[in-house]
Structure 1
Amino acid sequence: MTLRDFGMGKDSMEDRIHEEIKYTMDTLEKSIGQSISPQIMFHNASSNIICQVLFGRRYEYDDEVIKVIVQCFTENAKISNGPWAMLYDSFPIIRSLPLPFRKAFKNVETCQKLAISWMNEHKQTRVPGDPRDFVDCYLDRLDKAGDDQTSFSEAQLTMYILDLHFAGTDTTSNTLLTGFLYLMNYPHIQGPRMCLGEGLARMELFLIMVTLLRKFKFIWPEDAGEPDYTPVYGVTLTPKPYRMKVQLRKTN
């Protein structure tokens, strides 16, 4: 049993991405002719795609669970590469003080509680030997290990859930934000039939961008001033918050 069996293979992942893109397109269609802030939208979409692989479920964009997840991830991405994180590493004596990096620990605790709740839910509903997603597959491996000395454990599963969820959300969403920032300000590359080849088209980033660009035109708002390409440093680079104007692309 490998990750390919529950969503990490190219074909099955493509299906999951296409399904999530439908919800992103619904969000954009409601904003035609308006300017919107795309940060949360792209984080929600990226989070839901990896959620389907890990837990076999997705959340509506206004669901409190996904709001909490995205907020915790974005806050920790900024904190972990900021000055307070460096001070925390350099001066252990300040670790007990109520300084900003304490927020990162609270966020991790919040996400750990969610991960444990998902794991416990799976333990109640799973069918051993017939995994639906990553969590089920890991629990099957735990069953096989029994009392043997092994690195597999429920605590380790919790950390894997957090690591994979964060990595699958933060990097993808921030790359999408950067890509659309440049696309709006260099509109000549927004070809409606933009294609980077069959192999790359199956990858999450390109599949989302190509699909959205076929239906929508993204414009830098007239009242937004000059675009600022200076990145914000965190676990990954992300552009400064911006707004985009959405229009339907004319079809021949």
Structure 2
Amino acid sequence: MQVECSPICVCAHINTQKSVPPNFSHTMLGTLVLLWLGIFLFLLFITMRRPKNFPPGPTPLPLFGNLLQFNPNAPLKELDKLSQRYGSVFSIFVGGRPWVILSGQEVIREALVTRAAEFTGRPDQLMVSHILDNNGVIMSAGSKWREHRRFALTTLRNFGLGKHSMEERILEEVKHICEHLERHAGMSMDPQNLFHNAASNIICSIIFGSRFNYEDDYFQTLIDRMQEFNKIVISPWAMIYDIIPPVRCLPLPFRKAFEHYEKLRAHILKVVAEHKNSWVVGKPRDMIDYYLDEMLKRAGQGLSFDDTQMVALLFDLFLAGTDTTSNTLRTLSLYLMTHEQIQERCQQEIDMVLGSREHVSYEDRHAMPYVQAVIHEAQRVSDVVPLSVFHTTTANTQIRGYSIPKGTLIVPYLSSALREKGQWKFPDEFNPQNFLNDKGEFVKPDAFMPFSAGPRVCLGEGLARMELFLILVTILRRFRLVWPEDGGVPDHSLIFGGTQSVKPYCLGVQLRL
């Protein structure tokens, strides 16, 4: 049966429709979106509250945490302010995740040395962790890390680390440095590529068994990729990757880090494949051969030693063995140019100890306390790795009375120890007296920890010390480093990054008479 509406019903229906504003649905939708967004941010805010007895810190904002209060180009100044306000142990939020910052040499040593077992973990949620898949030695943890660290240290000792055979390897590279400097005598040059090339070649000779010509385009491409990789993994884009997982699949700038790693990985795999064709068991030529021997010895015992782990280990050494040493050499050269009296005193000590001998030996460092002090002071002020490599706690623990849950990300703020008031005679200036006692003898304060401390201390520390001493002494014996007349005003400020560096400058070179 069909039902007809009366005119009155129709009019009522029409009037009802006219009484609803035309943008009512859009307004309601906007209100719902704002409501749900508010609920989301409220829930996010609740999850970002600090646990009971957790280290104090500034109030975080939803989604971003405390990131917006940091200047990405100079974040250390804000960390210094927070340390003054909250003490040597405090926390910040990066996105929704809390980071605990350890400031000052005492608390850093307490965590990394005294309580090392509870603080030796590595984070597995950062971009660099995903790129390396927690392999190698820098970003790995547990038995995988211990076995590969032990292998790397043993292999470096087999190559003569601290002995005459390693000296010869380094001094061979120093000859190429000096040839380059000699060609620029009476002129000025950018030392960045020179020191990067030299440091990279030394580690290449150890892990790959060969070196590159400084003008080799392929070699320069490898170094450029490595430097770009290092910049990206500590950049704001890496932070975005870490705190907003849904964007990880997008073609944003952080994808470049993955591309650089794949290219470097392809190079390492190519060299490994060549080694496998010429490898003679028990007669290792370099670290790759040692690793192949180790793989053969461990065959059938599990997958701890395999090609994937080898590539990550070699990448770690290639990366860590280049940037830190080269950036320290650049900082050292800058300060020697701008502190002529310190350079002259170094040269006097070098001339007195070496006399007419052709080459310096690493043992000579014991007779050169002033040179040693200058090198260590350059390491202190260069502050190459200010935030160390991040740690995590391996168990629920406590430090300075605060409760730290298992898996908490820990940042040893090494820069705070290297500039700590009360630990240094002259914390805010370049002065070798920071490493000399009243008798002029070399001393190393506890606050000196540019390589970190404890079981996770940089495994290339011994190699870096040899390189810095042998390179500096050889250069200063033959050359005088001068600030170019057209160099402008010297700038000693640092560019923040995964590894810090001084700003680009020109190095003036003169032959010593």
**174-183 or 96-105, larger mean C-alpha shift:** 96-105
Is residue 65 of structure 1 aligned with residue 218 of structure 2?
Answer: yes
How well do the aligned residues superpose, as a CA RMSD in angstroms?
1.8
Write the mapping of 1:1-252 to structure 2, written as runs, cut at 5 A: 2-191=155-344, 192-195=347-350, 196-197=365-366, 203-250=466-513
| Corresponding residue SS for 2:509 | strand
Does the 8 A contact of 2:197 with 2:214 survive in 1? yes
The C-alpha deviation readout for 1:129-163, integer Å capped at 9, x for no partner, is 11111110010011112222141011100000000
Q: Deviations over 1:194-222 (max 9, x none)?
A: 45435969711121011101111111111
Looking at structure 1, the residues matched to 250 and 480 of structure 2 have their Cα atoms a distance apart, in angstroms, of 49
Q: 1:97 Cα deviation (Å)?
A: 2.4
Q: Secondary structure at the match of 1:24?
A: helix
Distance 1:3 1:105 in 2: 29
CA shift, 1:8, in A, is 2.9
Cα distance in 2, alignment partners of residues 20 and 160 from structure 1: 23
Which residue type is aligned with residue 496 of structure 2?
Y
Unpaired stretches in structure 2, ≥5 consecutive residues: 1-153, 351-364, 376-464
- For 1:224 and 1:20, the matched residues in 2 are separated by 28
Larger radius of gyration: 2
Distance 1:89 1:180, change over 3 A: same
Quote the Cα distance in structure 2 between the aligned partners of 1:95 and 1:18.
45
Query: What CA distance in whole angstroms lies between the structure 2 residues aligned with 1:8 and 1:117?
Result: 27
Using the size of structure 1 for normalisation, the TM-score is 0.93
Decide whether the 8 Å contact of 1:51 with 1:165 is kept in 2.
yes
Structure 1 position 243, deviation (Å): 0.8
Give the whole-Å Cα distance in 2 for the aligned partners of 1:209 and 1:57: 23
**Relative contact order, higher structure (CA 8 A, sep 6+):** 1
Query: By how many angstroms is 1:107 displaced?
Result: 0.9
Alpha-carbon distance between aligned partners in 2 of 1:190 and 1:151, rounded to the nearest angstrom = 48
**Percent of matched pairs sharing the same residue:** 48
C-alpha separation between the residues in 1 aligned to 2:502 and 2:258?
25
Q: What is the letter of the counterpart of residue 185 of structure 1?
A: T
Assess, with a 3 A threshold, how the Cα gap between structure 1 residues 55 and 194 changes in structure 2: closer, same or farther.
farther
**Partners of 1:7 and 1:53 within 8 A in 2:** no
Q: Which structure is higher in helix share?
A: 1
1:246 is paired with a residue whose SS is strand
Moved more, 170-179 or 95-104: 95-104
Change (3 A) 1:69 1:193: farther
* Partners of 2:204 and 2:161 in 1: CA distance: 12
| Alpha-carbon distance between aligned partners in 2 of 1:127 and 1:118, rounded to the nearest angstrom | 15
Give secondary structure in 1 for the equivalent of 2:249: coil
Q: CA deviation at 1:11?
A: 2.0
Amino acid paired to 2:161: M
Indicate how the Cα distance of structure 1 residues 247 and 48 shifts in structure 2: closer, same or farther if over 3 A, else same.
Answer: same
Contact in 2 for aligned 1:194/1:210 (Cα 8 Å): no
Report how far residue 74 of structure 1 moved.
Answer: 1.3
Distance 1:8 1:150, change over 3 A: farther
> Partner of 1:197: helix, strand, or coil?
helix
Q: What is the TM-score normalised by the length of structure 2?
A: 0.47
Contact in 1 for aligned 2:162/2:466 (Cα 8 Å): no
How much has 1:96 moved relative to structure 2?
2.4
What is the distance in 2 between the residues matched to 1:125 and 1:135?
A: 11
Give the aligned residue type for 1:19.
E
